[in-house]
Each structure stands twice: as C-alpha cells, then as structure tokens.
Amino acid sequence: MTRINRRGSPESPVYEARTGDILVRVSPNYVPEESNPAGGRWIWIYTVEIENHGKETVTLVSRHWVITDGRNRVEEVRGEGVVGERPVLGPREAFRYQSGCPLTTPSGAMRGEYQMITDRGEAFEVEIPAFSLHLPGDRRRLN
C-alpha cells in the first residue's frame, strides 16, 4: 500500500494498491455541507479508480469493506458489484466511481477487497488500499 498525493494537493490524498494486474486508487474527501458534527455525523465521499493492466478481461462481482471509526469500532459491508454495477474491464481499461461513508466520529479508516472473475471463470480477490478519513487540517494517520 502506498499513499501518494496527486497535483500536490494535501487535501486530497490518493491511496493505491496493486494486486497482480489490477491497480486500485482511492481518494477520500470530507463533505462538510452534508455533515452534522453537533449531531455526531461526519460524511465522506471517496472516488475509486480500478485499472486492468493485464491481458484478460475481468468482471468485478462483489465487494467487502471494513470501516473503522475513531473509537476503533468496526463495521463490515458486503455486497454485489459497486454502485449498482458489475463493471467489466477489458485489457488496459479502467472504471471510476464515487460512493460515500457516514461516520459517527470525526475520523476513521476504510479498507477492503473486490472479488473479481476472469473470462475463463477464475475467481480472485483484489486489495482495496487502506485509507484514512480525517478532517482537513487534522494530522493525517491511519487508524
């Protein structure tokens, strides 16, 4: 797992992980206009880019997220595809989507795996990099 900043922006870190020929990048952002700190609700959106650097077509069939809040409470989320889709990625193709995560603490972290299958029917897991959810200006660290 590597954390990089694109365009030198400290407000939008990009985290990435590579599993075989599949590269996953995640960029989280805090959404203050939808958050309610006084009510104990902090909203985060994250953009995910999945790139197929291989020679085979692959299909993302399901996801597994592990969400840890600032009190180290863990929630696991499993489901079919992503954002209502089961993206098919041919060689050198990419898929990008946005989703969100509410927290009951101002900070947290997420990580996970995608379950994918090749056109030949071989199933495999792809790592989603661990990434921090910390308010802009706070010291960034992985919970």
The domain spanning residue 56 has which CATH number?
2.60.40.1470
Q: What is the pLDDT of residues 31-75, one digit of tens each?
A: 999 999 999 999 999 999 999 999 999 999 999 999 999 999 999
Vertex 6: Cα angle to 82 and 68 (nearest 5): 50
Looking at the 3D structure of the chain, how many domains does it have?
1
- Separation of alpha carbons 126 and 142, rounded Å: 20
Residue 94 lies in a domain: yes
Residue 139 lies in a domain: no
- pTM for this prediction: 0.87
Q: What is the pLDDT of residues 15-38, one digit of tens each?
A: 999 999 999 999 999 999 999 999
Range of the domain at 117: 2-133
